[in-house]
Amino acid sequence: MSFLAYDFMQRALIAAVLVGAAAPAIGTFLVQRRLALMGDGIGHIALTGVALGFLLGTAPVLTAIVVSILGAVTIELIRERGRATGDVALALLFYGGIAGGVLLIGLSPNGSSATLVSYLFGSLSSVRPIDLVVIAGLSITVIGVAVVFGRELFAVCSDQEVARVSGLPVRFLNILVAVTAAVTVSVAMRVVGLLLVSALMVVPVAAAQQLTTSFRATRIAACGLGVAASVGGLVLAFYADVAPGASIVVLALGAFLVAALAAQLRPAR
């Protein structure tokens, strides 16, 4: 357990536990709504936010949160309006996010494309004490939203029309999911990186549902798996000296494979 001797590892581990629990908590609702790739899109847009932070000389996390929330609300409004054209509009938004990020980082005095890499794939040493406070606050907010609005979010993510006739504020709840996903992306980017953050929202859910039969059990198991993969991946990254985002996601995918095999082997329900 020598890795615990380093302050940066202690902070990274605390961040990993928080992010590992928060990402699947909101990810379950994205999967339920068949929007598994939404987090990926928000991650692309958040890159512009990170670069904007470098350009303006402010904290990249703050600009990432602002830009990704704006992006997420835009995605939701585009989705609400139409189907076919919305698909292309989303693609334009996502490509714009990556291109904007690389462009802005090039323009900023103290940044280069290499700077962005730590944000794309995560970095062990990048979690500063102040980051930890932000990560803790936002992770708890994300989990809080998933718990407090759980019943309404399940109804909305299962059947939008029935939810509307039930009198639920469907647009508010959809935007709540989008904004919460955006916050999760910004929070998790230091640990897993923007390109892989969506994996932490989706893969634990996909793994859990191989073996679960209820929504509640899927949600709890996914959060547990998310924490285990994040912590395990971080330790792996420390010893193997690789980007933590990659090792976390590989572990989560491994859990998915094991769960899928176990589901195949056990008798049919």
Partner 1 sequence: MSVFDLRGGCVALGGREILHEVGVTIEEGEFVAVLGANGSGKTTLVRALVGLVPLTAGTLEIFGTPIARFREWPRLGYVPQRLAVGGGVPATVREVVASGRVGRARRLRRLGRADQAAIDHALEDVGLPHRAKDPVATLSGGQQQRVLIARALAGEPDVLVLDEPTAGVDADSQDTLAGALGHLSRQGGSVVLVAHELGPLAALIGRAIVIGGGRVVSDGPPPEPEGHHAHAGHVHTHAHEPAPPGRPSLFEPGTFER
Name the residues that contact partner 1, by CB under 8 A.
Answer: 28, 31-34, 36, 148-149, 151-152, 154-155, 157-159, 161-168, 205, 209, 212-216, 218-219, 269
Which CB, 117 or 211, lies closer to partner 1?
A: 211
Rounded CA-CA distance 152/166 in Å is 10
Closest separation in Å from C-beta 207 to partner 1 = 12
Which CB, 198 or 247, lies closer to partner 1?
A: 198
Q: Show the tokens assigned to 216.
A: 């509640």
Give the C-alpha distances (Å, rounded to integers) separating 32 from 64, 66, 159, 216, 217: 26, 26, 10, 12, 14
Q: Which long-range contacts (CB under 8 A, 24 or more apart) does 129-134 make?
A: 129/11, 131/11, 131/15, 131/61, 131/190, 132/11, 132/14, 132/15, 134/61, 134/187
Closest separation in Å from C-beta 2 to partner 1 = 39
Closest separation in Å from C-beta 245 to partner 1 = 24
The answer to whether the Cα torsion of 261, 264, 267, 268 is positive or negative is: positive
Closest separation in Å from C-beta 83 to partner 1 = 12
Which CB, 110 or 213, lies closer to partner 1?
A: 213
